[in-house]
Amino acid sequence: MTAAQITQASARRLPDFDLVLFGGTGDLAMRKLLPALFRRYLAGQFPARARILGIGRTNIERDEYLALVEENSRKYLPAGLDATRWTAFSRLLDYLQLDATSAADYSRLGARLAAQPLPLRVFFLSTAPALFTHVCRNLAAASLVTPEARIVLEKPLGQDRGSAADINEQVGALFPERQIYRIDHYLGKEAVQNLLALRFGNALFEPLWRRGRIRHVQITVSEQLGVEGRGAFYDQTGALRDMVQNHLLQLLCIMAMEPPAVDHPDAVRDEKLKVLRALRPLEGPTVASHVVRGQYRAGAVGGTPVVGYLEEQNVPPESTTETFVALKAHIDSWRWAGVPFYLRTGKRLQEQVGEIVVYFEDVPYPIFETATSVNTANRLVISLQPRDSITLTLLAKTPGENMRLRPVELRLDMPETARASQLDAYERLLSDVIKGRLTLFMRRDELDAAWRWIDPIRDAWAQSDERPRGYTAGSWGPAAASALIARDNCTWNGEV
């Protein structure tokens, strides 16, 4: 996307703001947040007065920080940097060295903000969660928490229900819920917005969106990447907490929720919460029959040899952390009773895929001939990545004399021209924070309900002496994941 195209895609201007970025020299800031802000700047969305203040422990000057941001943005912005626009943008950037745990340091932050006071302050915490409470307390003690201040919390939001509750309790004591933005970047993805539009902007699918019409649903987020130098973090986390507790469950909520009465943050979040609360618990012996955990061994991904998880840097050689999870879930509600939801995610898998696949029921009795190899069910694939698209598979007649059916794809993609104005997930979410739109952020009770469902799975693993099942890097995961779904006469989309 060129700068000119982004400019054409100009959106509503944001109000004046100060964005204070804790973790300002970190990976997320460099890879996603600062490039996203630059793109919003190019889109003409920045107000007359805006300031982005990177905060870090590293003792560097502003110039050095700007150079670091520029070098990384060049790397992570596919269209590269327009030098003139970059120079103008970088005037809005500043840096402050600060120890997040030291209350005394916050007076310097206060002084920096007071130099050009702007009413809207956003504190983005892209730090280890252990620092969340320190930062919030110190901000409050330095009188920096105003009624117009917003706090953005990046995942991981806790390690389990108890630690998440502690964070929520302590942050909640200083910021009211309406000022807290818990990010799940999957909710900012274009395909998720499109799924909402498809479901709630059209009457067409609603009568079909239920038991009796839908046979089962698959949600897959597979990555070719490994732990990418994050071995120490990942080993304490694992795929269940890193991906399922947040991203996959949020996708499940958007897929399965009832239509909200209005487009209001709480109306949407109330409906998502109901889905989470209706998830049938997976606990005790059910975990062994409904959940598969795996760990990658050495193999090749996209033709390149890669090491196994246990050989990754900062991973203990006897680690039992899972890099893959597949599970079968049920939502105990009138709409979804009896419809299995299969969830699957993993690292070092064959392809990078993010998709929700809805399998509709077959005709009650086939009167036409279909090739036996054809999976006859109508299918709706909402693809998040590598490219977002929506495809409906139907059966149509094969040209020729005979009445023989074959699958055809009806693509509901947006035109290429419209793609140019698409926002990256973080662009959308950062703009939403500044505009004060909470819909795409998780509410405290949602987070709690997600952990409440996840914890018993981990407890069952902790009590079992089984190791995660090995799978070769570059495959589709352990054979047990295919067996999990094959027991119900299904296969994972894309797997033959």
Q: How many residues does the chain have?
A: 496
Q: Which is nearer to ligand BG6, 112 or 185 (CB)?
A: 185
Q: Which is nearer to ligand BG6, 133 or 385 (CB)?
A: 385
Tokens 């190791």 found at = 467
The CB-nearest residue to ligand BG6 is 242
130-169: contacts with ligand BG6 (CB under 6 A)? 155
Tell me the number of residues near ligand BG6 by CB under 6 A: 6
Residue 451 C-beta: closest distance to ligand BG6, Å: 16
Q: Which is nearer to ligand BG6, 155 or 379 (CB)?
A: 155
User: Residue from 94, 190, 235, 242 that binds ligand BG6 (CB under 6 A)?
Assistant: 242
In order, the DSSP letters of 140-183 are: HHTT---TTEEEEEPSP--SSHHHHHHHHHHHHTTS-GGGEEE-
Residue 218 C-beta: closest distance to ligand BG6, Å: 17
Six-digit token string for 281: 């618990």
Query: Are the CB atoms for 277 and 444 separated by under 8 Å?
Result: no
Residue 189 C-beta: closest distance to ligand BG6, Å: 7
Catalytic residue among 247, 264, 290, 330: 247
In order, the DSSP letters of 273-286 are: HHHHHHBPP--THH
Q: Does 190 bind ligand BG6 (CB under 6 A)?
A: no
Q: Does 355 bind ligand BG6 (CB under 6 A)?
A: no
Spatial neighbors of 328 by CB under 8 A, at least 6 apart, are 290, 291, 340, 341, 342, 484, 485, 488
Q: Which is nearer to ligand BG6, 260 or 354 (CB)?
A: 354
Spatial neighbors of 73 by CB under 8 A, at least 6 apart, are 30, 34, 35, 38, 81, 86
293 strand-pairing partners: 325
Q: What are phi and psi of 193, to 5 degrees?
A: -60, -40
d(CA 43, CA 183): 22
Q: Which is nearer to ligand BG6, 225 or 486 (CB)?
A: 225
**Count of C-beta atoms within a 10 Å radius of residue 476:** 22
Query: Are the CB atoms for 133 and 164 separated by under 8 Å?
Result: no
Six-digit token string for 375: 């999976």
Residue 26 C-beta: closest distance to ligand BG6, Å: 13
Q: Does 223 bind ligand BG6 (CB under 6 A)?
A: yes
185 is an active site residue: no
Query: How do beta strands 304-306 and 214-222 pair?
Result: unpaired
Q: Which is nearer to ligand BG6, 70 or 190 (CB)?
A: 190
Tokens 């495809």 found at = 391
Residue 155 C-beta: closest distance to ligand BG6, Å: 6
Residue 328 DSSP SS3:
strand
368-397: contacts with ligand BG6 (CB under 6 A)? 385
Residue 270 DSSP SS3:
helix
Q: Which is nearer to ligand BG6, 18 or 223 (CB)?
A: 223
d(CA 384, CA 355): 5
In order, the DSSP letters of 31-71 are: IIIHHHHHHHHHTT---SSEEEEEEESS---HHHHHHHHHH
Question: For ligand BG6, what does the binding mask look like between residues 404 and 443, x meaning CB under 6 A?
Answer: ----------------------------------------
Query: Are the CB atoms for 174 and 142 separated by under 8 Å?
Result: no
Q: Which is nearer to ligand BG6, 94 or 388 (CB)?
A: 388
Query: How do beta strands 50-56 and 341-346 pair?
Result: unpaired
Catalytic residue ranges:
247
Residues at the contact surface with ligand BG6, assessed by CB under 6 A: 155, 223, 225, 242, 354, 385
